[in-house]
Structure 1
Amino acid sequence: MSSIRSVCVYCGSSDFVADSFKEAARQTGTLLARSGFDLVYGGGRVGLMGIVADAGLSAGAKVTGIIPDHIKRYEVDHLGLTELIVVESMHTRKRMMVERSDAFVILPGGIGTLDEMFEIITWRQLRLHGKPVIIVNIDGFWDPLLALLDHMTLTGFMRKPNLPGAEDRLYHVVDSVEEVPPLLARLTEAAHKVKSEKM
């Protein structure tokens, strides 16, 4: 893992969610931008997705949205982004989001967010990438899922997510958005330390 410059944010597109989730999305966009990170996300203007993008833009980040054409037709694409990329399929969207990002932050969301989360963690387990994955557990939203992941680990279907060495963990869990930028900084420092020790 090299220095983290661009952070992909996975989150929900529903407007009918608790204010605490909306505030977390606002903080995510703002704090990542103020910490010097550019943002990559799914390109929508609704729900937490739109809030993250608007907050990032307002705080000075470059925000790239990647949206499939069949979703753009519903007129939910964000037209005020630094860059909006329209692709032909969900598969292409997810691949490009991974290629353009150095780390992944997962906020509350629905089945689309789950799809993205499981894919990026699976790819990490298969060593298809070595980029940090951070689950932000606002108000315990992810508690049921985290319990399931623990159960999968205990029953032998998944390797332990927290191996020795922070840089080698499958995913990290934090309870607040404020913890994300310093964690990203520590992970970058740890990766550079390991790399220098191997040289």
Structure 2
Amino acid sequence: MVSESYSVCVYCSASAGDQAALDLATAVGAEIGRRGWQLVSGGGHVSMMGAVATAARAAGANTVGVIPKKLVHREMADVESDELIVTDSMRERKQIMEDRADAFLTLPGGIGTLEELFETWTGAYLGVHEKPVVVLDPGGHYRGLFAWIDELREKGFVGRQALDTVVLTAELSEAFAALNPVS
């Protein structure tokens, strides 16, 4: 088991109501806690974001929520977080989340989740950080996106090295193996 200081930032939806998505978020939070890791999240207590944080805490994980002032009420700030950081902007939120994380896990989400994934992925590719970037997609939520990215690779717009900096998997166990600091 790794100490609590190993932190995984989870990017996911703050609006999905789909039960399968909520169940996935719950399973991810429980696994973070089971491993003794710390969760860094967007600081909301709604949808998948709330489910992952609640499950992580229930499994014994320390949770750090980072939320901009403008979203405190909209995403119902997770006041149960062990540490809740309220920022002035989305840019500050993302920077703190990146700084506090040792690895990044993306679950299904919308444009905000995509933006976080792409920024983190680009940072890994450019060598800004050497932290694992993993996408857990058991339901095929990102199938079209990665098919398009593969087309971009075929046309020369995306190199193999960029694709090698992200792990895409449908399996929870494979995602956590890729996040694992020992691997």
Shorter-chain TM-score: which interval? over 0.9
Q: How far 1:76 sits from its partner (Å)?
A: 1.2
Q: In the alignment, which residue of structure 2 is the partner of 1:5?
A: 6
Q: In the alignment, which residue of structure 2 is the partner of 1:43?
A: 43
Structure 2 CA distance, aligned partners of 1:119 and 1:162? Answer: 12
Which structure is larger by alpha-carbon Rg, 1 or 2?
1
Structure 2 CA distance, aligned partners of 1:170 and 1:113? Answer: 18
Q: What TM-score does the superposition give when structure 2 sets the normalisation length?
A: 0.92
Structure 2 CA distance, aligned partners of 1:119 and 1:75? Answer: 22
1:58 equivalent to 2:51? Answer no
What is the count of residue pairs matched by the alignment?
180
Q: Determine if contact 1:21/1:138 at 8 Å carries over to the other structure.
A: no
Q: Determine if contact 2:32/2:38 at 8 Å carries over to the other structure.
A: yes
1:173 equivalent to 2:153? Answer no
Q: In the alignment, which residue of structure 2 is the partner of 1:189?
A: 182
* 3-state SS of paired residue (1:140): coil
Q: What TM-score does the superposition give when structure 1 sets the normalisation length?
A: 0.85
Residues 1-199 of structure 1 mapped to structure 2, 5 A cutoff: 5-17=6-18, 19-74=19-74, 76-161=76-161, 169-185=164-180, 188-190=181-183
Q: Determine if contact 2:125/2:162 at 8 Å carries over to the other structure.
A: no
* 3-state SS of paired residue (1:189): coil
Q: How far 1:161 sits from its partner (Å)?
A: 4.5
Q: Deviations over 1:20-73 (max 9, x none)?
A: 111100000001110121000100000100000000000000000000001114
Q: Deviations over 1:115-171 (max 9, x none)?
A: 1011111111111111100001121111001111111111111121577xxxxx310
Structure 1 CA distance, aligned partners of 2:12 and 2:119? Answer: 14
Q: Which runs of 5+ in 1 are unaligned?
A: 164-168, 191-199
Structure 1 CA distance, aligned partners of 2:146 and 2:75? Answer: 34
Q: Determine if contact 1:11/1:107 at 8 Å carries over to the other structure.
A: yes
**Larger RCO: Structure 1 or Structure 2 (Cα < 8 Å, ≥ 6 residues apart)?**
1
Q: 1:46 and 1:75, CA in 2 relative to 1: closer, same or farther beyond 3 A?
A: closer
Q: Which runs of 5+ in 2 are unaligned?
A: none
Task: State the identity %.
Answer: 38
- Residue 182 of structure 2 aligns with an amino acid whose one-letter code is E
* 3-state SS of paired residue (1:114): helix
Q: How far 1:176 sits from its partner (Å)?
A: 2.4
